Amino acid sequence: MNTEDIYSLDRLIEIALDLSAEKDFDMLMQKILLEAMAVCHCDAGTVYVKEDDHLNFHTVYTKSKGIPAAEQSRNADLPPVPLVRTHVCACSAIDNKKINIPDIYESKDYNFAGAQKYDAINGYRTGSMLVIPMDDEKGDIIGVLQLINAEDENGKTIPFDTRYEEIVSALASLAAVSLNNHKLAQEVIDLLHSFVRVMVDAIEARSSYNATHTRSMVRYAEQFAQWLDKTDSSYRIPDERKDAFYMSVWLHDIGKLVVPLEVLDKPDRLSSLRPGIKSRIEIAILAQKLKGYEETTDKAANDEKTALLNKAWEAIDAANTAPFLDDDKIEELRGYAKIKCLTADGSEVDLLTDDELEAITVRKGTLTNEERHQVEEHVSYTARMLSQMNFKGLYENVPFWAGSHHEFINGQGYPNKLSGDELPFETRILTIIDIYDALTAEDRPYKPPMPPERAFSILESMRDEGKLDGDILAMFKESKAWDRKSLA
């Protein structure tokens, strides 16, 4: 092994270590291309990625253009190359063969009409070419590395030195393995995203009253993150964490899959209890009318009882869907609850059972304390379900972020009474957008949508109580990421 070979091996080890540490896939492909060009002292190169029956341009660079490699690749608008023998890069992939051509204009083995047409348009002269197939550890071709115009020390185009073919092949193999790993990682992420969409679809199909909640929240989160990117705020979410953050928003309500539907979708206070109460009162009124036909009955008292039952039903039915019940209304309902109702067999029962009274006297909303506890349990279920999915790396915090979106920074939230620094930015913004959407949602049967200014008034009151992060709330409000018009 001569000195040049030792230097090449050392450099190959060095570049391999550098590439293994590179997390940005596009930068990785660029580094491999630039290193291959440096080894061969050439002017231009391209990395193609194999997709089905064609090769896609991934990274392209021509040194003599004087434009940074990243910019050239970003602005390249080149059509895919079909895997047919009219293209030399396709031949390299099809045959898994290194192709070294001293001058494409003198070659009789391959059709270079496309390259020559490119030269004519761009005022370039393609001379020598080295094409190396990129095969992974299983021997599958997943791309092609193509180098153009090797140069001597004076910048004159010369053929590619065959001694460099093995070194470039080793770089191509590194690129192939990296590309394969990237594709596998992307497939896992795509699978995870598919799972997330399926779960959200399942929640929405189960509960039509919350059909747009999660999707609206994701849009709020994305638009807020984009707004933060345009500011100098320390709250900006790093690009590598955004996908995990969005995923936590997508999954924050997955626990609702195990909340009883009759509780989750309860449209009014009585819900399934209403028909029983109405039937009981109708039977009691009918029984009172029949009793009125008896000669011994006090007709005035009987009519008064019938009128009272009708009045009680009107009050109960109105309270069933009222947005809010004050103390006087609740006391009135409690009074009606003890009215004695005649039954079909002549016995008497209270107008309302204990469960019915508890339901109709809910001050605000539709849920009793027990039902509210059942709904609140969804965050515990969310954390429990997601913790079993073994999220790793950049996604390891998804279960925590999703499962703590009802916690408040003053420790008065649920389920774990977390507070202060225990709640990171991701959880704090998730909490704010969850509350905002709940207040302004247009698909809730138990309340009309609240205008944004009223919703922010409530959020600011919660901020003043120490529940919400005031800085984040102010930025969210300023960002207009909450504007529902942008969700259309």
Q: Please report whether residue 35 resides in a domain.
A: yes
Domain end position, chosen among 335, 365, 395: 365
pLDDT at residue 481 tops 90: yes
For residues 242 and 310, state if they share a domain: no
For residues 90 and 122, state if they share a domain: yes
For residues 451 and 385, state if they share a domain: yes
pLDDT at residue 333 tops 70: yes
pLDDT tens column, 163-205: 888 888 888 887 788 777 777 778 888 888 888 888 888 877 7
Q: Which of 168-172, 386-390, 423-427, 441-445 has the highest mean pLDDT?
A: 423-427
pLDDT at residue 357 tops 80: yes
Side chain identity at residue 19, one-letter code: L
pLDDT tens column, 360-377: 999 998 999 999 999 999
Q: Please report whether residue 54 resides in a domain.
A: yes
Residue 181: the pLDDT is 79
- What rounded mean pLDDT belongs to the chain? 88
The dihedral region occupied by 69, where left means phi > 0, alpha psi between -120 and 50, and beta the remainder, is alpha
Q: Please report whether residue 202 resides in a domain.
A: no
Q: Please report whether residue 482 resides in a domain.
A: yes
Instruction: Report the percent of the chain where pLDDT is more than 70.
Output: 93
Q: Please report whether residue 196 resides in a domain.
A: no
For residues 163 and 62, state if they share a domain: yes
For residues 359 and 376, state if they share a domain: no
For residues 348 and 376, state if they share a domain: no
Q: Is 406 exposed, middle or buried (0-12, 13-18, 19+ CB in 10 A)?
A: buried
Question: What tokens were used for 102?
Answer: 């001293």
For residues 58 and 135, state if they share a domain: yes
Is it true that the peptide bond before 415 is cis, omega within 30 degrees of 0?
Answer: yes
* 62-87 mean pLDDT: 84
For residues 88 and 221, state if they share a domain: no
Residue 446: the pLDDT is 62
Residues 6+ apart with CB under 8 A from 207: 256, 261, 264, 265
Residue 448: the pLDDT is 77
Q: Please report whether residue 200 resides in a domain.
A: no
Instruction: Report the distance separating Cα 141 and Cα 96, nearest Å.
Output: 7
For residues 219 and 84, state if they share a domain: no
Domain with 286 in it: 271-365
Instruction: Assign 422 to helix, strand or coil.
Output: helix
For residues 426 and 388, state if they share a domain: yes
What CATH number has the domain bearing residue 24?
3.30.450.40
Between residues 113 and 351, which one has the greater pLDDT? 351
Residue 298: the pLDDT is 81
Between residues 111 and 219, which one has the greater pLDDT? 219
pLDDT classification of 486: cutoffs 50, 70, 90 = low
Instruction: Report the distance separating Cα 125 and Cα 110, nearest Å.
Output: 17
Residue 250: the pLDDT is 93
Instruction: Report the distance separating Cα 119 and Cα 157, nearest Å.
Output: 15
Domain end position, chosen among 365, 386, 402: 365
For residues 61 and 98, state if they share a domain: yes
Please count the structural domains in the chain: 3
pLDDT at residue 315 tops 80: yes
Q: Please report whether residue 188 resides in a domain.
A: no
Q: Are 217 and 429 in contact (CB under 8 A)?
A: no
pLDDT at residue 42 tops 50: yes
pLDDT at residue 398 tops 60: yes
For residues 74 and 126, state if they share a domain: yes
In SS3 terms, 244-258 reads as HHHHHHHHCCHHHHH
Nearest to 58 by CA among 44, 36, 38, 74: 74
State the pTM of this model. Answer: 0.68
Q: Are 54 and 87 in contact (CB under 8 A)?
A: no
| Sign of the dihedral defined by the CA atoms of residues 6, 10, 12, 13, in that order | positive
What CATH number has the domain bearing residue 427?
1.10.3210.10
Angle between helices 425-440 and 213-229 (to 10 degrees): 130
Residue 2: the pLDDT is 45
pLDDT tens column, 251-262: 999 998 888 988
Q: Which pairs from 390-396 meet CB under 8 Å and 24+ separation?
A: 394/240, 394/241, 394/243, 394/244, 395/192, 395/243, 395/244, 395/247
Domain end position, chosen among 365, 381, 401: 365
Residue 487: the pLDDT is 54
Q: Are 401 and 242 in contact (CB under 8 A)?
A: no
Instruction: Report the percent of the chain where pLDDT is more than 90.
Output: 55
Please state which of the ranges 16-25, 52-61, 152-161, 285-294 shows the lowest mean pLDDT: 16-25
* 276-292 mean pLDDT: 91
Residue 470: the pLDDT is 96
Instruction: Assign 147 to helix, strand or coil.
Output: strand
pLDDT classification of 211: cutoffs 50, 70, 90 = low
Q: Are 289 and 327 in contact (CB under 8 A)?
A: no
Q: Is 470 exposed, middle or buried (0-12, 13-18, 19+ CB in 10 A)?
A: middle
Q: Please report whether residue 195 resides in a domain.
A: no
Q: Which pairs from 19-22 meet CB under 8 Å and 24+ separation?
A: 19/174, 19/178
